[in-house]
Structure 1
Amino acid sequence: MRFKFRFSFLNPLLLAALLGCSNSGSSTAPAPTPPIPPPAASTTYTNPLLSTGPDPWVYQKDGFYYYLHTTGVNVTIWKTAKMSELSSAASKIIWTPPASGLDSHNIWAPELHFLDGKWYVYFTAGPGMCCGGQRLWVLENPSPDPTTGSWTEKGQIAVPGQDLWAIDGTVLEQNGGRYLLWSGQEANSVQQNIYICKMSNPWTLTGPRVQLSHPQYAWELNGYPKVNEGPEVIQHAGQTFLTYSASHCSTDDYALGMLTASTTADPMDVNAWTKSATPVFAKNTANHAYGPGHNGFFVSKDGTQNWLIYHANSNANEGCGNARNPRMQPFTWNADGSPNFGTPVAIDTPLPRPGGE
């Protein structure tokens, strides 16, 4: 009886304890599921930046990059905080040509510059008779952001008294002066040369013009006509470097040449410039870079890197059309202060993004 009594007494207690454990377990909320972390931001990009984009140009201001390239039919600006994300950048058409007239066709190589508190775009256009009528034109916008506000066409920019073929305008500022550089021709010639002329304001040349470079080395003489075009400027270590594109764009041998002068020299003095006898940036067939050229320059967001932007074809014999696509890569400086652009990097290969991106 004693044994039976004790069992009967303990059994309810044991049962209550078991029930208590059971109730306690059922009333406790399940542990929350840890949140799935967002994917890590990519630290790389790949070339090409876009599927098409001949004659690329970049201008930096107020934390943004403004990108342009030849569309053939209008002037469009892309705006982005990160060049590595150009493919997702918003774009805006800022100017559409008239249906007819001297600037109605073949809209090429637009460049954006901020001068005297306003935005200016220098572009090439013609009346549509193939390419023979190409001239340089200027747009102006006083808005702080070039993708907003109104653009006004200031008209053709040309040497007074001359009406000669001209393309690929860019601006050089040196010794307190401002100069236009472009690719032009002599009368009764189709050869393209690099010219310079002093500017009295962002849309007016004062003349005369001076020829700084013409096709002369074997690597500049591929294709027809003979070509020096796409002048661009970068200054470093007391020197002004003028890159240009040589040989015709229809060939795979389109490449970058370079002129060098002191930043204190008179840029209108042809004797102040020294021309490199070999190209400074040329094709790399293994990396699918055919005819690399018509470049621009920009600095990474963190200010630590210099970058080259340029176009190239991804395959041989693709010529001067829309197959040309924009690419970018960092470059360094040689011991003498000159730029070292290296060789075109491979397409479709992950590369480190510009510093700060």
Structure 2
Amino acid sequence: MANLSRRLFIAGTAATVALPALAQKQRGPRRPLVNPLIRQRADPLILRHEDGHYYFTASVPEYDRVILRRASTLAGLATAPEVVVWRRPASGRMAGYIWAPELHRIDERWYIYVAAGDGDQKFRIRTYVLSCDGDDVLNGTWSVLGQLQTPWDTFTLDTTSFVHRGTRYLCWAQTEPGIATNSNLYLAPLATPTTLGAKPTRLTVPTLPWEIQGYKVAEGPALLPRNGRLFLTYSASATDARYCMGMLTARDDADIMDPTVWVKSPTPVMTTSPEQGVFGPGHNSFTVDEKGRDMLVYHARDYEKIDGNPLFDPNRHTRVQPIRYDVEGVPLFMPPLGNGPVGRARR
């Protein structure tokens, strides 16, 4: 009896010690972060919400719907189930190309800013706002709240939102009558999700050689507030291998509605890297990894040659990489990382 009790004690102790290892084995190893993170998803936005989850949305090659993913880790977005939260109608307004959705939490409600064309004029692109009827964005009902009201009824896309010093702003790309460009960048405080609180400020017009290759473009703005400054990245030129990222910089304490406080980098901050196999990097957003490190999110192709219109080449893939900073605290995005595991950023 004593021997039996001793054997049971030993067996029970061994089982207790093995439980954590068994649980770890059942959970499996943490998925590594690998590029491309998500294939055939362009114009990516990754939002890490206060609920601890990562939320992902992007353009799909068919340009016909808005999708969302949610995961507890950044790498987990690669295999997270994808939910279609809104589809374009069969005809009429918003039945054209659906581009570059962005998910934002504003005044305790979820909204998606998305660019959409019309059924009979697919490139008559305007920005619209979708709203969710609840807190669960993957299972709630999304409906069209309305069109974003700007001073001109012209080509409008790539709308992002952020809060700076207690004021919520909207930044977007638009064609302005009288300026011979495809799109410029604009900024304004937000009154409601669909209306501006003041006359917008024109932040930049594409004029530099690297901004006007194929098309005169400034689009896809994204804000990174760090080190006492606001770094506003954007994308320029045609959406092939010439696509690249530029950056505007302002002091954190400046009047950001004054366009003169924004300084444009004279050269692009991220470009095609044949050595890394990354072509046409752009339309980025920013997030943080699980350790709180700043991460760049963007799309690019892994080949250069494109047959036909690059907009209809489906292989713009979502990529991520850590952001480095120079000794002055300015973000460094080059070089883009090639396919494979994503390493740590070095200063």
Shift of 1:312: 0.3
SS in structure 1 at match of 2:47: strand
Decide which structure has the larger Cα Rg and report it. 1
Dislocated runs of 4+, deviation >6 Å: none
Gap regions ≥5 residues in structure 1: 1-31
- Tell me, in whole angstroms, the C-alpha distance in 2 between the residues paired with 1:306 and 1:66: 16
The corresponding residue for 1:233 is: 223
The whole-number CA distance in structure 2 between the counterparts of 1:101 and 1:197 is 29
Equivalent pair of 1:261/1:273 in contact (CA under 8 Å): yes
- Give the alignment partner of residue 313 of structure 1, picking from 293, 301, 312: 301
2: CA distance between counterparts of 1:245 and 1:155? Answer: 26
Matched, 1:246 2:247: no
SS at match of 2:77: helix
Matches within 5 A, 1:1-357: 38=25, 41=29, 44-61=32-49, 62-71=51-60, 72-129=63-120, 132-160=123-151, 162-187=152-177, 189-223=180-214, 225-249=215-239, 251-303=240-292, 305-318=293-306, 319-320=310-311, 321-347=313-339, 349-352=340-343
Structure 1 counterpart of 2:103, one-letter code: L
What residue ranges of structure 2 are gaps of 5+ in the alignment? 1-10, 12-17
> Closer, same or farther in 2 for the Cα pair 1:299/1:94, shift >3 Å?
same
Report the Cα distance in structure 2 between the residues aligned to 1:208 and 1:102, rounded to whole angstroms.
Answer: 26
Q: Which residue of 2 aligns with 1:29?
A: none
Q: Distance in 1 between matches of 2:122 and 2:172?
A: 16
Q: Which amino acid aligns with 1:295?
A: N
Deviation at 1:335, TM superposition (A): 2.1
Give the letter aligned to residue 301 of structure 1: E
Question: Any conservation in 2 of the 1:181–1:194 contact (CA below 8 Å)?
Answer: yes
Q: Does the 8 Å contact 2:74/2:290 carry over to 1?
A: no
Q: Aligned-pair distance for 1:279?
A: 0.8
**Aligned-pair distance for 1:158?**
1.9
Q: 1:128 & 1:183 partners in 2: Cα distance? A: 22
Look up the equivalent residue of 1:228 and give its one-letter code: A
Counterpart of 1:187 in structure 2: which amino acid? P
Q: Tell me how large the CA RMSD over aligned residues is.
A: 2.3
Q: Distance in 1 between matches of 2:220 and 2:342?
A: 26
- Deviation per CA, 1:41-80: give whole Å up to 9, x if none: 2563321112211101111111111101102111110111
Residue 258 and residue 190 in structure 1: after superposition, are their counterparts in 2 closer, same or farther (change >3 A)?
closer
What amino acid does structure 1 have at the position aligned with 2:138?
Answer: T
TM-aligned CA distance change 1:126 to 1:207, over 3 Å: farther
Partner-residue secondary structure (3-state), 2:172 = strand
Q: Does structure 2 conserve the Cα–Cα contact (< 8 Å) formed by 1:117 and 1:142? A: no
State the TM-score, normalized to the length of structure 1: 0.83
Whether contact under 8 Å (1:84, 1:353) holds in the other structure is no
3-state secondary structure, aligned to 1:93: strand
Deviates more, 1:117-126 or 1:208-217: 208-217
Amino acid at match of 1:180: L
Is this contact kept in 2: 1:55–1:311, CA < 8 A?
A: yes
C-alpha displacement at 1:131, in angstroms?
Answer: 5.1
TM-score by length of 2: 0.85
**Residues of 1 paired with 2:302 and 2:325: CA distance?**
27
Aligned positions, number:
317
- SS of residue paired to 2:76: helix
Q: How much has 1:85 moved relative to structure 2?
A: 2.5
Mapped to 2, the partners of 1:233 and 1:190 lie a distance apart of: 23
Contact 1:230 1:294 in 2 (8 A): yes
Query: Which deviates more from structure 2 when the two are superposed, residues 54-63 or residues 330-339?
Result: 330-339
Residues in 1 aligned to 2:101 and 2:141: alpha-carbon distance in whole angstroms: 17
| Aligned AA (1:118) | R
Distance in 1 of aligned mates of 2:227 and 2:67 = 34
Amino acid at match of 1:316: E
CA contact (8 A) 2:96 2:122 kept: no
Matched-pair contact (CA < 8 Å) for 2:278–2:301: yes
Alignment identity in percent?
A: 35
Q: Deviations over 1:181-230 (max 9, x none)?
A: 1111122645211111221022212342221111121111211x211110
